[in-house]
Chains A and B, each alone.
Chain A
Amino acid sequence: MKIQKLAKGNLNRFASVVQQFGELHAPVAQNTGFVSSP
């Protein structure tokens, strides 16, 4: 398995990159819990 590393400061830029592969869904807070949301 290939392994690389990504600086945490670049995570949002990478999130922009992956949107070319599909609609991005990620966990966000909702009321007292969390939901996976676009």
Chain B
Amino acid sequence: MSNWSEVRLDYTRTILPPKKYFLPPQETLFRYEPGQGYVPFREGLNQHIVLFGLHACDIYALNILDRVFAGKYPDPYYQARRKNILIIGIDCIPDEHCFCRSMRADFADKGFDLFFYDIGDYYLTFIGTSRGDDMVQAGSALFEPVSAADVEEYKLRSARKRGSFQIDVDIRDLPEIFELQYQSGIWDAFGEKCLCCGTCSMVCPTCYCFDVRDEVEFGSGSGTRTRHWDSCLFASHAEVAGGENFRKTRAARIKYRFYHKQRGFVAEYGRPSCVGCGRCLSACPVGIDIVQAIRQLQGVQHASV
């Protein structure tokens, strides 16, 4: 850190989420050369980084990415970075775009090495891993035991935070609502408005689609395989050989994105992949609002797409 005085621990949300550290926007996977076969590209994978100041929703998002990249089909690139990057979380105050409480992602119980809660003159420091304990031990002279008064202050501030969310959306029956609303005209209305620019996917902490490209060096038989962030909103995302496209219209693509987040992921992993960080709400150039969409589908808000 070049200048600690520039750090803003009161920040609302970063433009890009922490996924950029674990799944970079663009990365080389391997090189291939005649006679050598495939040579994995490991540059940067062993870099040790301490990510300071992650909010609970972003840590929760990393826990969701773990299910994809460190579960049934482990990704060695993701896993190497996850191993070498330490995470220090910090509590936050919700703004007008935050709905992480509705998405049950306002509190992280795992996925961090340390987590700081503001209790006035102190930070209550939760130690989540042995690596976190190592960091505390390295600065042991700076830490003090927690008192009963500290616990009371934590409870008071935690309750105050719970009451300060400006957005509240009920997601308990969302998978069923999405099933029932598959043919809803709401999707056509969203398709009319959506630019399919992919901004919501890029800023989403749990969108993980990527495209794989081979860059062949003509004449040598050598080349590199790279992967790049992709978005299901792009017209090319569902295009297959022969030019067929399973989601030709913008309405079909935005519906697919919402369904994967709020319905498909529930079936596969038991919870929506949305963590309510509010990035898509604040970044969408035409003001498409996932919370409004959910409320319209639930019938608790009239369509105003």
Contacts and interface: CB of A to CB of B under 8 A. Distances in A.
Q: Classify the interface of chain B: helix, strand, loop or mixed.
A: mixed
Contact of A27 (B2, B9, B127, B145): B9
Contact of A36 (B18, B125, B135, B142): B18
Interface string A1-27: 111111110111111111111111111
Contacts of A24: 1, 49-50, 52
B122 interface: yes
A26 B142 contact: no
Q: Which of the four size classes fits the interface of chain A? A: 20 to 34
A27 B47 contact: no
A4 B241 CA distance: 58
Interface stretch (B80-88, B170-178, B180-188): B80-88
Contact of A26 (B16, B53, B84, B145): B53
A17 B142 contact: yes
Given A21-B131, A26-B7, A26-B52, A6 B1 contact: no
Contacts of A34: 8, 11-15
A7 B144 contact: yes
B82 to A, nearest CB: 13
Given A18-B50, A18-B138, A28-B8, A8 B122 contact: yes
Nearest to B55: A27
Contacts of B14: 27, 33-36
Contacts of B15: 30, 33-35
Given A18-B88, A25-B1, A27-B11, A5 B146 contact: yes
B140 to A, nearest CB: 9
A36 B90 CA distance: 14
Nearest to B48: A22
Contacts of B223: none
A16 B18 CA distance: 21
Nearest to B85: A22
B268 interface: no
A21 B269 CA distance: 33
B133 A19 contact: no
A22 B52 CA distance: 11
Contacts of B136: 2, 4
Given A4-B125, A21-B131, A34-B8, A26 B119 contact: no
B179 interface: no
Contacts of A17: 135, 138-139, 142
Interface of A: 1-8, 10-30, 33-36, 38
7 contacts: A5-B146, A21-B134, A27-B53, A28-B7, A28-B8, A33-B14, A34-B8
Interface of B: 1-2, 4, 6-9, 11-16, 18, 20-21, 47-53, 84-86, 88, 116, 119, 121-128, 131, 133-136, 138-139, 142-146, 150
What are the nearest 3 A-B pairs in CB distance? A22-B48, A17-B139, A24-B1
